[in-house]
A = this chain, B = another copy of it.
Amino acid sequence: MNVPTSRKSLRDLGEFGLIDRLVRSGCGDGEGVVLGVGDDCAVIDDGAEQRLLLTTDLMAEGVHFLSSADPVKLGDKLLAVNLSDVAAMGGEPRHAVVALAVPEALDVSFLDGVYRGLRRRAARHGVTIVGGDTTASRSGLVMSITLTGRVEPDRVMRRDGACAGDHILISGAIGDSAAGLSLRTSVLGKTRDAGLEQADVDYLLARHDTPEPRVYLGRALAVDGEVSAAIDLSDGLASDLRHICQRSGTGAVVHVDRLPLSSPLRRCAASIAADARVFATCGGEDYELCITAAPGAVARLKRRAEQVGMDLTDVGEIVDGSELRWQDHDGERFEPSGGWDHFSSSDSV
């Protein structure tokens, strides 16, 4: 058994490096598997009329949240990030199981709060929590949710269908969550003194703490099968768009001056003389949808989005090749610094 080993840690490989490694190692092929490792959800043909979607997300104390976090918001967000994965596939969420590793001395009222948040979020989307596992943790609290969903076979949105010429569309506004996170940590701590309105602070914090998964939007966009590729923006546009391009075998051009930025984000960036586009391209956890579609379908998709109260912004094009090119209105190149990765991020709570 002389298996060559890497002597590499996850800090070296990063989250995506590890996932690549696991995909290469042969997970994902099997009976009924339409789509395995590497998209927002696995897609399974289990003989039912609709496809079964499966997704799992894990949040760890000290990495995704601090022990001082509001437990209700934490529960809400834990389910929201899973809902966002189902939304990105065009699916309708159904049932969830919850696995918890709990420090033995934790006051159980904290978990009551987490469950209050979970149930509140579940009720809004018709999701039922059907079971789980609870065990002790020798260190921090770790929470994992697995969510199922259903989607019609011809409505599945996936990452790998983008074609040269397709437009790139983004829902809502991006960068808010990263700004909210920074407000909570060191980078922008001083902006409160720098004159940022409390309403802006509250908005940006809420966008980080209780992101709204775009479930209804995902369903609406999937209706006509006109979305060529889709992903939810959990890791940041620079990172997530790269996933679409890598899996589709394409490149992309993004016009950074067209990125949808909220007024609070603009004011927040201005107050510290920062570039809001950095938050929008590199900041994670917005949980907006990024889709691609042929030019002729863009107007129809925008109307569908409006019907569920959402805007889609056209930010660029899919191109041949493999390069992701970011440019401003003068054609000058803009370099995002990489996107979100829980292994390489040093300040990620």
Stretch at the interface among A54-62, A161-169, A173-181, A207-215: A54-62
Contact with B along A169-201 (1 / 0, CB 8 A): 000000000000000000000000000000000
A100 touches B58 (CB 8 A): yes
B7 touches A107 (CB 8 A): yes
Contact with B along A42-80 (1 / 0, CB 8 A): 101011111010111111111110000000000000000
Number of copies: 2
Stretch at the interface among A31-39, A293-301, A317-325: A31-39
A63 touches B97 (CB 8 A): no
A138 neighbours in B (Cβ, 8 Å): 60-63, 139-140
Interface residue SS majority, chain A: mixed
Q: Which B-chain residue is minimally distant from A349 (CB atoms)?
A: B138
B44 touches A46 (CB 8 A): no
B8 touches A108 (CB 8 A): yes
B115 touches A25 (CB 8 A): yes
A60 touches B101 (CB 8 A): yes
CA A105 to CA B9, docked complex, whole Å: 5
Say yes or no: is A308 at the interface (Cβ < 8 Å to chain B).
no
A137 neighbours in B (Cβ, 8 Å): 60, 63, 139, 142
A108 touches B343 (CB 8 A): no
A100 neighbours in B (Cβ, 8 Å): 58
Q: List 28 A-B contacts (CB under 8 A).
A: A3-B109, A8-B107, A9-B105, A13-B108, A19-B134, A21-B112, A25-B115, A27-B119, A28-B128, A28-B131, A30-B130, A32-B128, A36-B129, A42-B95, A42-B97, A44-B95, A54-B95, A54-B131, A54-B148, A57-B99, A61-B138, A62-B139, A99-B146, A102-B343, A136-B342, A136-B343, A137-B142, A139-B139
A32 touches B95 (CB 8 A): yes
Chain A residues 226 to 266 lying within 8 A of chain B, measured CB to CB, are none
Chain A residues 129 to 163 lying within 8 A of chain B, measured CB to CB, are 129-140, 142, 144, 146, 148, 150
Say yes or no: is A223 at the interface (Cβ < 8 Å to chain B).
no
Known contacts: A28-B130, A108-B8, A133-B58. The answer to whether A47 contacts B46 by CB under 8 A is no
B97 touches A130 (CB 8 A): no
A103 neighbours in B (Cβ, 8 Å): 10
A22 neighbours in B (Cβ, 8 Å): 115, 132, 134
Say yes or no: is A126 at the interface (Cβ < 8 Å to chain B).
yes
Say yes or no: is A29 at the interface (Cβ < 8 Å to chain B).
yes
Query: Smallest distance from the beta carbon of A240 to chain B beta carbons, Å?
Result: 15
The residue that A131 contacts in the complex, of B37, B98, B111, with Cβ under 8 A, is B37
Say yes or no: is A333 at the interface (Cβ < 8 Å to chain B).
no
